[in-house]
Amino acid sequence: MSGATYSSAGVDLGLYREGMARLPAHMRRTQCPRVVSPEGGFAALFQLDLGGLFARGYRNPLLVSCTDGVGTKLKVAVAAGVHHTVGIDLVAMSVNDALCTGAEPLFFLDYVALAKDDPDLLERIVAGIADACVACDCALVGGETAILPEMYHPGEYDLAGFCVGVVEKHRLVDGRQIQTGDVVLGLASSGFHSNGYSLVRKAVFDIGGLRCADRVADLGGATVADLLLTPTRLYARPVQAVLRHYRVKQPVHGIAHITGGGLGENLGRIVPAGVEVVLERGSWPIPPVFPWVQRLGGVDAAEMDRVFNMGVGMVLVVAPHFAASIRSQLADQGVENWVIGAVHETGPRPADPAGAATFERVRFG
């Protein structure tokens, strides 16, 4: 009787090596000369500044780091057999967060955990990650692939992503500059992005009884998989273009990535004391996928606001004098946007004994 092997335990090193051999080509198309590490090393090297075309001349740079995953949207991808779009989601969730500081995304790493060795599946996932990195001008410098038998059901996997960016300290956008009179701009989302999918799946599959291949007549005949696997919008290029446009005084006072928790919670994270943001309902169109899920699941309107972006994937809080110009720049970059609210002064605010605020800094007018 032969002894146990790694293969008999669920890990095929031959297939693992095949999968690894397919990935460098996808990584190379994302990279620039600032990536100085050789392939196959234990860590990636990225030069913060280079001469010539890549000279940045940093004076007081701050490194910005973010991490996130895709969540249970992966369950839909597995059920539909569509795996390239979730790589885009993975990059977007971290890069969009980094943008909220005004940072330029520099490089990205991924962690892919599979139930078993599957070079084709791995390549499809990483191809999507690379596509998104190219779109964000962000280098995919490495990652890790883990084969974890019995941790996941056959065909299932999990993803985590890590982004590092840089911003000059004097150009940092952190919300502290937000002041009375500022204008709130909402940037269009592409749908649910990668948030709230536990509720989406409950409404669509468990309560609505639909399957991935079913077509939704009210939404142009698109399949359920098409509607639910639309990737998260990448805001890096348009937002970076706006930030770079202003060399002296930065009119963008705050940026919020609208993820789980909706507009209220995420925008509230950057609003300083002494002011509040008043959002105007009806000032932007709500994409039809949201009321579709709401009807299927009988979801309360307040719950929809609390969980989803409702059509606004990112918010810029800007000085009023520059609002029209910024809107025009975003539109030129292909990003639909709207004035969705304004910043108002507030009176004294109560606090609990521990010093934590007991009030909301974002409300609907």
- DSSP string covering 166-178: EEEGGG---STT-
How far apart, in whole angstroms, are the C-alpha atoms of residue 194 and residue 192?
A: 6
Are 322 and 345 in a shared domain? yes
**What CATH number did the domain enclosing 74 receive?**
3.30.1330.10
Are 165 and 192 in a shared domain? no
Is 26 in contact with 140 (CB distance < 8 Å)? yes
Are 146 and 280 in a shared domain? no
Is 259 in contact with 89 (CB distance < 8 Å)? no
Are 127 and 47 in a shared domain? yes
How far apart, in whole angstroms, are the C-alpha atoms of residue 140 and residue 110?
A: 8
364 Cβ contact partners less than 8 Å away, ≥ 6 residues apart: 278, 279, 280, 281
**What CATH number did the domain enclosing 317 receive?**
3.90.650.10
How far apart, in whole angstroms, are the C-alpha atoms of residue 189 and residue 262?
A: 12
Are 214 and 83 in a shared domain? no
Number of Cβ within a 10 Å radius of residue 97: 22
Per residue in 262-279, is it b (16+ CB within 10 Å) or e — as a string?
Answer: bbbbbbbebbeeebbbeb
1 domain-assigned: no
327 domain-assigned: yes
4 domain-assigned: no
Q: How many domains does the chain have?
A: 2
Give the pLDDT score at 50.
Answer: 80
Are 122 and 188 in a shared domain? no
Ramachandran bin of 10, using left for φ above 0, alpha for ψ from -120 to 50, beta for the remaining angles:
left
Range of the domain at 300: 183-364
76 Cβ contact partners less than 8 Å away, ≥ 6 residues apart: 197, 201, 212, 225, 228, 229
> Where a domain ends, among 138, 171, 204?
171
94 domain-assigned: yes
> Where a domain ends, among 112, 147, 171?
171
> Where a domain ends, among 143, 171, 199?
171
Are 346 and 269 in a shared domain? yes
Each residue's pLDDT, cut to its tens digit, for the chain (365 residues) gives 478 887 888 888 888 788 778 888 888 888 888 888 888 788 889 998 887 766 788 899 999 999 999 999 999 999 999 999 999 999 999 999 999 999 999 999 999 999 999 999 999 999 999 999 999 999 999 999 999 999 999 899 999 999 999 999 999 999 999 999 999 999 999 999 999 999 999 999 999 999 999 999 999 999 999 999 999 999 999 999 999 999 889 999 999 999 999 999 999 999 999 999 999 999 999 999 999 999 999 999 999 999 999 999 999 999 999 999 999 999 999 999 999 999 999 865 555 445 444 347 898 98
Are 146 and 238 in a shared domain? no
How far apart, in whole angstroms, are the C-alpha atoms of residue 70 and residue 206?
A: 21
290 domain-assigned: yes
How far apart, in whole angstroms, are the C-alpha atoms of residue 89 and residue 82?
A: 13
How far apart, in whole angstroms, are the C-alpha atoms of residue 150 and residue 158?
A: 13
Are 49 and 138 in a shared domain? yes
What's phi and psi for 276, nearest 5 deg?
Answer: -140, 155
How far apart, in whole angstroms, are the C-alpha atoms of residue 207 and residue 201?
A: 9
Are 262 and 327 in a shared domain? yes
342 domain-assigned: yes
91 domain-assigned: yes
261 domain-assigned: yes
Are 277 and 359 in a shared domain? yes
Give the pLDDT score at 60.
Answer: 95
Are 57 and 90 in a shared domain? yes
How far apart, in whole angstroms, are the C-alpha atoms of residue 225 and residue 195?
A: 16
The reported pTM is: 0.92
